[in-house]
Structure 1
Amino acid sequence: MRNFLCKVIVLVSYNVYASEFQSDQHAGELDATQHLKNPKYPLVCIDDGCLRGKNMDGFQAGPFDAFIGIPFAKPPVGKLRFANPVRNDPWEKGTIYNATEEKSMCLQKNDLIPNALVAGSEDCLYLNVYRPKDRNTTKAFPVMVYIHGGGFFAGSASPSVVGPEYIMDAKRTILVTLQYRLGVFGFFSTGDGMAPGNFGLKDQVMALQWVKKNIAEFGGNPELVTIFGQSAGGASVHMHMMSPMSEGLFSRVIMMSGNAIAPWNIPTKDPFGLAVRQTEAVDVPCAKNLSSEQIVNVLRNVDATVLSKSIDKLKFWSIDPLTLYRPVIESSNWSDQAFLVEDPRVSWQKGNYQQLPWMTSFVPNDGAVRAIAITSNEKLLKELNANISYILPKLLEKEQSNELLRLLKNRYFNDSSDEEWINQKNAYRLTDLYTEGSFLYPIQSAVKQYVTVADTKKAPVSIYKFNFKGRYSYSFYYTFTHQDYGVVHCDDLIYIFRSPALFQDFPRKSKEALMSHNLVQFFIDFAINGVATPLKPYRSCDNENEIYQSMDCDVLEFTNSDELEKPFEVRIFNGRNEDLFTFWNKFY
C-alpha cells in the first residue's frame, strides 16, 4: 500500500515539476541573400550547411576570423536530459548559420564564487572556432582545442573569459573552445543504463568528432590536433587519453593543474545512492522507493534552476565537496557508448591509454583554489578547527583515521595546538596541504607511471611550473580581497586567454604582455612539434634509467626575473621530490 501511495505522489510530482523547455536550435539562421549583401564576413561551408562568422581584433596583431556559437549537438533538454549527446540536425537549405553571436554557458552554480547564483542554460552545446586571416591554401594549420576547467560544475567557452586574442596574435594555429554539460546535468548517473553518466565528457567527445570531421574546411589539419585543458579540463584531457570513445581524435595533450588520478576526480562510488539523495533534495517524496527509471523520469521534469540550486542540500560542510558530481565507471553492458570502463587510476597504471606527446604543469599554490576561501573566512576557519578530525579527511576524499590525522598534523601543523591546528600565522600551510595532495602528488604519480609504460622517445612527457606573478590574480575571485596569495590556481590562464570580463587588459609593452606572448608561443611550438622547446637546454622525462624515481627529470619554470631589465625568466630545476611522493603515496 505504501509503495502504491508513493507511486501516486511521484506521478503528481512529475506533473507539478514539469517545465518542458523548448529550444529553437537554429534561431540564428540567416537567409543566404543576407550574406551576399555583406561579403566581407568570413564564410565556411560544412556538411551541416554554411556558417557566417565575424571579424575580431587581436590584442597586439591584426584581426582574425571568429565563428562563435556553432552547434555540435542537439540541446540536451526534455528526454535528452541525462542522455548521451545526439548530433544536431543540418540547418535548412538556402540558409546560412549566423555564427557571430555568443551562446549561453551551460547551467551552473559556481561555488568557487562566494554567494553564487544559478546561471546559464541547458541549451549550451556549442563551440567556437577562431582562425588567422592570413592562410596558406596549401598548408593546413595545426589545431588547438581547449577544454575549460571548473571542477565539472562551472566554466564556459565565452570569449569574454576564454578570449582567443593572445593565441590568434601568433597567427600559427586554429583555436577551438567548447562547452559541455556541468554538475548534475553533465555527471548525474543511476549506475545503470537508464542514466549511465559521463554526459559532459561525452559532449566533449562529440565536439572533438566535430573538429575531426569539419576543421579542414576552416583551414585546419585534422591530423594535428592538440587538446589542452586546465584543472577539471586537464582531468578531462587525461581521461580522453584513456577512453575508447576518444581514440584517434587528437595527437598531442596538455594538462594544466589537473589530471584524472587526482583525488577530486575519483569516480563516484555509489551513483544510485547519489541519485536517490538528489531526488530527495528536490523534495520528491518516497525517493528511496523509486527505480532508476522513475528517478530519471521525475528529474527530467524538475525545473532546471531548481535542480541546479539543490546541490546546496548535498554538501557535507560549507560548499564541500566542491566536485560532488564527477565521472563514473560505466559497464559496456549498458551501452556501446561507454566513456570510462574502469577507474582512471587503474587504466593509467596498466597502460590502457593512447601514448602521445604530453605536457603537464602546475602552479606553486594550486591548492589556494579552496584553501584561501576557508582561511580568509573567520567563521569557516573556526568550524574547521572545531571539527578537524571529521572535516579534513573528507576534504581529502579519505575516511576518518587517527593515523592520517597524526601524519597530517606532523607534516603541516606540527607547531600548533591540538585545539587549533590552523591560525592566521600558518594558514598558508592549508594551501600547501591542498597543493601537494590534490595537484603535485597526482602529477608526480602520473609521470612516474607513464615513463615505466610508454615509449617516451615517440611520446615524450614534459613538465613546466608557472610561477610568474603579475598584476592580476584569481585569488581575488576566491576571497574578494586583494591580499597577496602568490601564484594561485588559474593564474596561468591569465596569460593564455584574454579575459575582459574578469581582468583589464595588460599594457601592450608590459612584462605581463611579454610573458603572455612567450607562453603562447611555447604552447603552439608543442602543438606543432610535440616537444617542449624552452629557451635553454632541457631534459624531458624519459624511461632510459632502469630505476625511475618520481619526476627525475627537468622542470621548466616560468618565473619573475631577479634582474630589473628582464621581464621574466625561464629556469630549469629537477622536479624530484621523494619526500612528498612517499608521504602522499601512503594515502592514494
Structure 2
Amino acid sequence: MTVLLLLLVISAVFQTVCDDRDDSITVNLPFGSITGYSNGESWEFYRIPYTDPPVGKLRWRPPKDFTPWTGNLDAKDPPPGCPQDCMTEPYACPTETSEDCLYLNIFTPLKWTQDPQESYDVLVYIHGGAYFQGSASCPLLDSRFLSNHTDTIVVTLNYRLGALGFLKNFWHGIDGNMGIQDQRMAMQWVKKYISYFGGKGKITLFGESSGAMSVAVHMVSPLSKGLYDYVIMESNGWTLPYRSSGDAELLGYQFIWRLGCVTIHCMQTKSTNKILKAQEMKIAVTDSLNLLMEVMPWSPIIDGVQLTQQPFVALMDMVSNKTLLPPQIVGTTTNEGFGFVKFVQRKLEIEQEYLYMIILFGLFKFKSGDVEKLYNDLYKPPRTNPEYIQRLSMIVGDYLFICPTRQYVRTVSEGDLIWSYIWSKPITYISKKNACYNFACHTAELPYVFGTVSLWGRQFSQEDKGLSEQTQAYWGNFAHAGSPNSGTSELQWPAYNTGEASQMYFDTPNPSVTNNYKNKVCEMLDGIGYNRGEVFEDNYAENIPVHETENKPRKEEL
C-alpha cells in the first residue's frame, strides 16, 4: 500500500505526455501544469513567470508575487529579453525585447524521465551585461549542455535593466534596486518550486560580470539568506562602485528631466524607446569614480535596505567578524580590460592617442606615473597606438578585476573555503576583426562553461571541447558538493591559501595550477587602493532641476 501511494504521488507531480509525441513532458505544480520539451540534450522549460509583468502601473515598482496560472502552460518558446540597446555579439543578445520580460528558464537532465525520484542539484545563473544589456535566453547562455554534462538542473533568469531596473526617485516613490529584487523573487520561486522538477539538492548561485556582482549583493543581503548554498563569481568587477542613495537620486532627476515628465503617470505611459533614449547620458570624466560609473550608470544602489555598503567592504567586514561564508569559486580572465577600454572610447568619443593618458590619469591621478613605470619595468614599453591600447587594457583589467579579486580571495581564504582561477584560453570563435580575437577577454570563459558555440554556427576544436568538458566537470562537482574536486577530475584544484596562492590556470591543451599570479603588480595596486566609492556622497539637492522640485506629484499619483 505504501509503495502504491508513493507511485501515485510521483505520478501527480510528474507525468510524461504520451499523446502523439514523445519529446514533451508535463509537470504538475500546486496551481497548474507546465509542459517542457526535449532539445536532445536536456528537458527545457522556457518562459516561466516568477512575478507579474512590470508594465503599466507596475513599471518602476518592486516585483509582486506572481499570479498563478490555471490549466497548462506551454513552455516551448524562450522569453524576450528586458528592454535594452544590446551592443555585444549577436549570440549574447536577445532576439526580441519587451517590458514583459520577467521569466525564468529551467533545464533538467534528460534522464530525469527515467527516474523521477532522482534528486538533482541546482545551478541558478544571473547574466551579466553591466546592468543595461544581456538576457537569460541568448544562445550563449543556453544551458542544455551544462545541464546534461553536469547532471544538474540549470536555471537562467531575466531581471529589469537600465533605468527600468535601477531608477531611484523619492518624489515618485521609486525606491530603486528593482532589478536586484527581481533576481531575489526568481530565486525565491526556485527555492519554492524547483523540487517539482527534481531539484531537491543544493543550490549554487553563479554569475559573470555584473551577474557576479549581483551574486555578491545577495551574499551580503540578509533578504537573500537561505536562497542558495554555494556561489561562483566569474569576473566580478570589484572596483566598479555602486551609487550612493544621494547620487542615484541625482541621476534619477536627470533621467526624468530628459524623459520630459513631471508625474508618475507620465513616466509610466512613456514608450519603452523613449525610456531607452532618456537613460543614455554622458558623465564627465573628472575623477576615477565618474570614469568607472560611465561603464555602469545604472546599477544597484546603496539604499540602506537592499544594500547597506559596497559589497566588497561588507564582505570584508563579514570576514573580520568571522561570519561563515559559503564555499566559493572566484576568478577572472587574463585580458579583462579590452572591453572596458573600447566601451569608454566609444561612449566618450575620445581619439585613440588620447585614450591612454585620459584613462590612466582618470583612474590613478598623480600616481599614474608610478603605475606606468611599474608596467614598463615588468613588460616591454609600448611604442605604437595598438601597443598603448593593449597596455592600457592590461592595466584596466588588473585594476578593475584581477587584483581586487586576488585581494578578496586572499582575505576570504583565511577562514573559508575558496577556489580561484585564471582563464587564459584566447577567444578564437569570433571574427578576426574583433579587438578580442586571440585574447582571453571579459566573458571568454562563458562559451566553455555553457558549451554553446555550436548554437551559433561555430565548432570547438578537440582541444577546446576537452577544455569545455573539464570546466563543466569542475562547475558540476562544485554544485554537487561545494568542491570542484568532489567528482572525477583529471587535475585536483587546490583550495586557495595565502602561502601557496594556487589558482587553476585554464588553457589548452590542459588546465594547470599556477602560483602567485601577478603578485608584483597587485601588491602595488593594493597599496594604491581601489576607490569603490565608500565615501562618495553628493549633495545632490542643489543640482535637482527646478521644475521637478516645484511640481511634486499629488499623493494619488504615487
Relative to the length of structure 1, the TM-score reads: 0.76
Identity %: 25
CA offsets per residue over residues 287-326 of structure 1, 9 Å max, x none?
xxx6xxx4x4442222111111223334447997121001
2:248 aligned with 1:247, yes or no? no
CA offsets per residue over residues 144-185 of structure 1, 9 Å max, x none?
111111011110011523112321331611111111111111
What is the alpha-carbon distance in structure 2 between the residues aligned to residue 572 and residue 414 of structure 1? 22
How far residue 438 of structure 1 moved from its aligned partner, in angstroms, is 0.7
Distance 1:44 1:483, change over 3 A: closer
Structure 2 unpaired stretches of 5+: 1-16, 286-290, 531-558
Among 385, 390, 402, the alignment partner of 2:354 is 385
Kindly provide the amino acid, as one letter, of the partner of residue 104 in structure 1: P
What is the alpha-carbon distance in structure 2 between the residues aligned to residue 366 and residue 385 of structure 1? 21
Distance 1:526 1:113, change over 3 A: closer
Match of 2:142 in 1: 163
Match of 2:326 in 1: 356
Among 253, 257, 265, the alignment partner of 1:280 is 257
3-state SS of the aligned residue for 1:161? Answer: helix
Distance 1:283 1:410, change over 3 A: farther
3-state SS of the aligned residue for 2:413? Answer: helix
Relative to the length of structure 2, the TM-score reads: 0.80
Distance 1:88 1:379, change over 3 A: closer
What is the alpha-carbon distance in structure 2 between the residues aligned to residue 104 and residue 154 of structure 1? 12
2:12 aligned with 1:44, yes or no? no
Kindly provide the amino acid, as one letter, of the partner of residue 272 in structure 1: E
What is the alpha-carbon distance in structure 2 between the residues aligned to residue 86 and residue 393 of structure 1? 45
Tell me how many residue pairs correspond in the alignment: 496
Contact 1:145–1:175 (Cα < 8 Å) also in 2: yes
How far residue 120 of structure 1 moved from its aligned partner, in angstroms, is 1.4
Among 432, 446, 463, the alignment partner of 1:511 is 463
Match of 1:213 in 2: 192
Kindly provide the amino acid, as one letter, of the partner of residue 439 in structure 1: F
2:512 aligned with 1:570, yes or no? yes
CA offsets per residue over residues 538-573 of structure 1, 9 Å max, x none?
43124xxxxx57xx5210111123xxxxxx343333
CA offsets per residue over residues 83-118 of structure 1, 9 Å max, x none?
1111211113xx20111111100101224469x999
Contact 2:506–2:512 (Cα < 8 Å) also in 1: yes
How far residue 55 of structure 1 moved from its aligned partner, in angstroms, is 1.2
What is the alpha-carbon distance in structure 2 between the residues aligned to residue 275 and residue 517 of structure 1? 45
Match of 2:176 in 1: 197
Contact 2:239–2:400 (Cα < 8 Å) also in 1: yes
Match of 1:347 in 2: 314
Match of 1:145 in 2: 124
Match of 2:540 in 1: none
Among 376, 401, 419, the alignment partner of 1:462 is 419
3-state SS of the aligned residue for 2:513? Answer: strand
Contact 1:166–1:517 (Cα < 8 Å) also in 2: no
Match of 2:281 in 1: 313
What is the alpha-carbon distance in structure 2 between the residues aligned to residue 522 and residue 340 of structure 1? 31
How far residue 471 of structure 1 moved from its aligned partner, in angstroms, is 3.1
Contact 1:315–1:321 (Cα < 8 Å) also in 2: yes
What is the alpha-carbon distance in structure 2 between the residues aligned to residue 373 and residue 347 of structure 1? 29
What is the alpha-carbon distance in structure 2 between the residues aligned to residue 125 and residue 354 of structure 1? 32
Give the alignment of 1:385-424 within 5 angstroms. Answer: 385=354, 388-389=357-358, 392=360, 394=362, 396=363, 401=365, 403-412=366-375, 423-424=385-386
Kindly provide the amino acid, as one letter, of the partner of residue 541 in structure 1: Y
Among 324, 328, 336, the alignment partner of 2:301 is 328
What is the alpha-carbon distance in structure 2 between the residues aligned to residue 171 and residue 576 of structure 1? 32
Among 334, 337, 340, the alignment partner of 1:370 is 340
What is the alpha-carbon distance in structure 1 between the residues aligned to residue 205 and residue 505 of structure 2? 22
CA offsets per residue over residues 30-49 of structure 1, 9 Å max, x none?
xxxxx774563211122331
Among 104, 126, 130, the alignment partner of 2:80 is 104
Kindly provide the amino acid, as one letter, of the partner of residue 365 in structure 1: N
* Bigger Cα displacement from structure 2, 268-277 vs 200-209: 268-277
Distance 1:501 1:119, change over 3 A: farther
What is the alpha-carbon distance in structure 2 between the residues aligned to residue 468 and residue 387 of structure 1? 26
Kindly provide the amino acid, as one letter, of the partner of residue 225 in structure 1: I
Match of 2:36 in 1: 53
3-state SS of the aligned residue for 1:496? Answer: helix
Match of 1:124 in 2: 101
CA offsets per residue over residues 494-515 of structure 1, 9 Å max, x none?
11224469842425x7222221
Match of 1:17 in 2: none
Match of 1:65 in 2: 43
Kindly provide the amino acid, as one letter, of the partner of residue 254 in structure 1: I
